[in-house]
Amino acid sequence: MSFKSVLYDFGKPCGLFYATKWIAKSHPRILMYHRISGTTGNGEFPVDVFRSQIKTLKKWFNPVSISQLISSFSVGRSIQNAVVVTFDDGYYDFAEYAFPILQEEGVPVTLFATTGFINDDLWLWPDQILYALESCERRPICVDGIKGLSDSNLNNKECWNIIADHCLTLSSEKRDIVIRNLYRSLDLVIPSRAPERFRPLSWSQIKDMQKFGLTVGSHSYSHPVLSKLSDQQIYNELNLSKEMIERNLDCSVEGFCYPNGMKCDFDCRVKSTLIEIGYKWAVTAYPTPSPLADLFEISRYSAGASMEQYFKTVFGLKYLSMRFSS
């Protein structure tokens, strides 16, 4: 049994959560969300679970914006028991389910928008893969260059993981070829616009939410693996996204969120370009014991629908696990 599991099993009945919360009080927990659903099952993140999580934040912690957190850190002040809520991508369900709850509870939030998606120029490539798999139950699937798909018993999620993991190793051009080959192998046509359940927010929806405190950052234009791009492509992705947000929402953009967000997904070229264009900070998709040690590599915790994992995150057990294992 892992150290985290021992802490959780022991701490929940005896109140150790209060102790871990106190020990971790100076460690900001920056949470990363993507989608919230009005239904349950099939890996969905139900809105009722999200509401419970936000109510827990409001009751036990100090919800702050990421800008507040960075400003305090920059002048040497630590906000005690700080928790930050962020959302990536910009799906329609953010406005339908998530933002009303955050607004009701008075919890600030930053949305990192994939601007080509918001602008209806494209839809996100992981969704293109999932849509194809859900639209055709033919198994096994054969896609050139991808191993592990020959098992006819693989379900949609398992197939998606294999194909998406492969695509993360490719340039945008080669990834698009793989997706076209997938559709061709299933006798499907890629829809030119995102199907209903994958649709984005609109600029007008985001602008309306801004009036009630929403902060917007950039998540690139097309959600590529930035480290696979040329220098010019990196510049185009980061600059176009920033310009689109500022033009459509009449606001300045300081923050960036690395697409996919793991260490292999960005490099020093990306960081240098962010600084050149005028970004002030950037966030990743993995946690570290010192999330603000590098303002262009601010670390975050992934927030899922498991309340057990959520409590481990916000009450500091995952932080203590990192501290003890480092």
What pLDDT digit, counting tens, does each position of 81-121 carry?
A: 999 999 999 999 999 999 999 999 999 999 999 999 999 99
pLDDT of amino acid 38: 84
What whole-number distance in Å separates Cα of residue 146 and Cα of residue 178? 9
Write down the H helix ranges in the chain. Answer: 3-14, 16-23, 47-60, 66-74, 93, 99-105, 115-118, 125-135, 156-167, 172-185, 203-210, 231-249, 268-277, 307-314, 317-325
pTM as predicted: 0.93
Per-residue pLDDT band at 206 (split at 50, 70, 90): very high
Q: Position of tokens 């209806």?
A: 120
- What percentage of the chain has pLDDT greater than the value 90? 86
* Mean of pLDDT values over 194-202: 96
pLDDT of amino acid 21: 94
What whole-number distance in Å separates Cα of residue 84 and Cα of residue 57? 9
What whole-number distance in Å separates Cα of residue 317 and Cα of residue 167? 33
Of the candidates 226, 230, 228, the residue with the CA atom closest to the CA atom of residue 241: 226
**φ, ψ for residue 192, nearest 5 deg:** -70, -25
What whole-number distance in Å separates Cα of residue 163 and Cα of residue 144? 11
Please give the mean pLDDT across all residues of the chain. 93
3-state secondary structure of 32: strand
Assess whether pLDDT exceeds 90 at residue 144. Answer: no
What whole-number distance in Å separates Cα of residue 14 and Cα of residue 105? 29
* Mean of pLDDT values over 178-183: 96
* Mean of pLDDT values over 294-298: 98
**φ, ψ for residue 83, nearest 5 deg:** -130, 135
Apex CA 266: angle with CA 261 and CA 269, to 5°? Answer: 155
Q: Position of tokens 């359940």?
A: 197
Assess whether pLDDT exceeds 80 at residue 138. Answer: yes
pLDDT of amino acid 155: 92
Least confident range from 1-10, 147-156, 221-230: namely 1-10
pLDDT of amino acid 261: 96
Assess whether pLDDT exceeds 90 at residue 323. Answer: no
Chain Cα centroid distance, residue 283: 10
Please say whether the beta carbons of 100 and 47 come within 8 A: no
The CATH H-level superfamily of 3-121+198-325 is: Glycoside hydrolase/deacetylase (3.20.20.370)
Assess whether pLDDT exceeds 90 at residue 13. Answer: no
Q: Position of tokens 């629908």?
A: 305
pLDDT of amino acid 7: 46
- What percentage of the chain has pLDDT greater than the value 70? 94
The one-character DSSP state at 97 is I
pLDDT of amino acid 12: 54
